[in-house]
Chains A and B, each alone.
Chain A
Amino acid sequence: MRRRYRPDRTPLGWIAGFTLPALVLYGLLIVVPLVTAFYYGFFRWEGTKQAEFTGLGNYQEVLTRYPLGEQIPVALWHNVLFFVGTMAIQNTIGLGLAVMLYRNPRFKRFFQAVFSLPYLISPLIVGYIWSLLLSPSFGPINHILESVGLESWARPWLGEPDTALPVLILVNAWQWIGGPMLIFLAALGGIPRELEEAASLDGASAARAFWSVRFPLLMPAVGVITVLTFIGCFNIFDLVYALGGSDGGPGGAMDVLGLLYYRTAFEGGANAIGESSALAMMIFLVIFGVSIALERVLRRREVS
């Protein structure tokens, strides 16, 4: 068959004219800086002056020297807990809401809109909203708890190390729950109903039909959501900054890698450029590597 477009006939000038603006902008401001950060990380810096090549010296320094050496594992652990908590709470509730809306499509559009409304708000503003609502003495949340007789529950939610991280997980889930809900809802809509019907004709209960027939078919959606959640949880910065400041709340209970990078780069010492670039590269490798690995694993499960 004759190809409709004569590919090689588009003159080079048009190709360049159409692709170069995006390529230059993206290359210069996104790709080059990341590559440069990688390069910076191999040198010692004195203020803004590049000093001698140190190989992996900065990496070693960042991982071992006080205080970073101790803060990195703690921050990493908080990111991991944050990811696990978000998967368990946000994505489970998101699935629940999607299933309920799917079975019960009354007012579906309205609910979809309301549930995903917080999605648009800046994480910083979400953080400020909740820090006002949760504030110990004049916050409505504690006030409501007291007025329904749960005085003992009222506490400075963001001021206690034990509650700070769980509150962070919940506030974050409040904001992003629309994402998993919409993705699950779209995926549920794509599954042929005959399958579940067949199962229920075979005498399976509704719950069983769901878990054994429908849920496995949702695996692609689970995969996408897991990867997106991982990237989101390891990139978090604004929300934590608003809830706990650049030190990550009481006793660093909410300190995460994003804050640590910010402090190293912009509140750091003489070798800030070298150290923060090394730290940036390690964070990048973790995020990029794990998301690719996650995608691989989940893809494989999908096929089988």
Chain B
Amino acid sequence: MTALLPPKARAASPAPSKRPRRAAGRHGSGLSRLGVQALLWVYAALAFGPLVLVLIGSFRPNADILREPVGLPDSLNFDNYARAWETASLSTYFVNSLTITVASVALCVTVSAMAAYALSRWRFRGRALLAALFISGLMIPAKLGLLPVFYMFQSWGLIDNRIGLVLLYAASGIPFSVFVIMGFMRGMPDELEEAARLDGCDEGRMFVSVVLPVMRPALAVATVFQFAPTWNDFFYPLVLMRSDDKYTVPVGLTRFFGEYAADRATLFAGLVIALVPLAVVFALATKHIISGLTAGMSK
């Protein structure tokens, strides 16, 4: 894993190759180009099709689905959604997940940004060791420490407590966030900070009013990449949460799937509800997602 280029630099890098592309890149005949296009559309259908099937199913009455598994809904009716949201108490799980996710992402990105800034701009004894400690977390399967966490939480009264989950998620997101933000800072010139320093800013003020705005692209990547796994996580709440009204969406869904096993329509609607926040994040942040996935690839 090498340095992460700031998105601007990466966006600029493919540009020089644009001109020769026409000449060199496309030496297939028109026919083979058409074939490639067709293959790409086929895979797009494979990637998207299952989600479409779920979406369509969520609008059909259950009896229809059992009679005819593939088919279009007669009308746009939201009965299934109402049932999943109210009766199956997905609303409770949804609010829990949203609160926990937002709080833990905010906590994680804040402490990571501070640490990453200190590690990339200040020199002090133990700096390299500390950076290595954070980054090595990328390779550590943190879930294997769950049992000790369980007993630790038990003695602090954090079992079946949403705050416990927030702290745990924030902690487990630190390695990736620190990695991304440090990589970003490495590529940023420090002139602004120096000017601020000459103007008499102290470290705290400079961080808040100069550094944070500059860091925004990296903070966005860290946020998106922390949001999805936290929203999606299943293992921690499965073990640490006890009461039904504190479940998050994934754990709630396992209960829901047991209870409504025969009611496909409600299950489909529940799955769609669980996917909505991620669809929103995806729509808002595709660019950041792509740059985050390729973080560390550019040399």
A contacts with B: majority SS? helix
Does A14 have its Cβ within 8 Å of any Cβ on chain B? yes
Q: How many A-B residue pairs have CB under 8 A?
A: 284
Does B59 have its Cβ within 8 Å of any Cβ on chain A? no
Chain B residues near A281: list those with CB within 8 A.
144
| 15 A-B residue pairs with CB within 8 Å | A15-B118, A17-B114, A22-B134, A30-B140, A33-B148, A36-B145, A48-B151, A104-B40, A120-B289, A122-B234, A125-B250, A261-B144, A265-B146, A280-B145, A283-B144
CB distance from B242 to the nearest CB of A (A): 13
- Which chain A residue lies CB-closest to B228? A120
Does A113 have its Cβ within 8 Å of any Cβ on chain B? yes
The 5 residue pairs across chains A and B that have the minimum distance between CB atoms: A33-B145, A7-B123, A122-B232, A22-B115, A29-B171
Interface string of A172-191 (1 = CB under 8 A from B): 00100111001101110110
Interface size class of A (residues with CB under 8 A): 35 or more
Query: What residues of chain A have their CB less than 8 Å away from a CB belonging to chain B?
Result: 4-5, 7-8, 10-12, 14-15, 17-19, 21-23, 25-26, 28-34, 36-37, 40, 48, 93, 97, 100-107, 111-125, 128-130, 132-133, 138-140, 142-144, 147, 174, 177-179, 182-183, 185-187, 189-190, 192-194, 196-197, 200, 206, 220-221, 224, 231, 234-235, 237-238, 241-242, 258, 261-262, 265-266, 273, 276-277, 280-281, 283-284, 287-288, 291-292
Chain B residues near A277: list those with CB within 8 A.
147
CB distance from A150 to the nearest CB of B (A): 14
Contact of A30 with B142 in the complex, beta carbons under 8 Å: yes
The interface on chain B, measured as residues whose beta carbon lies within 8 A of the other chain's beta carbons, has a size of 103
CB distance from B203 to the nearest CB of A (A): 4
Contact of B143 with A237 in the complex, beta carbons under 8 Å: yes
CB distance from A218 to the nearest CB of B (A): 11
Query: What residues of chain B have their CB less than 8 Å away from a CB belonging to chain A?
Result: 1, 13-14, 17, 20-21, 24-28, 33, 36-37, 39-40, 43-44, 46-48, 50-51, 53-54, 57, 65-66, 68-70, 107, 110-112, 114-115, 117-119, 121-124, 130, 133-134, 137, 139-149, 151-152, 167-168, 170-172, 174-175, 178, 190, 194, 203-204, 207, 228, 231-235, 239, 250, 253-254, 257, 264, 267-268, 271, 274-275, 278, 281-282, 286, 289-290, 293-294, 296-299
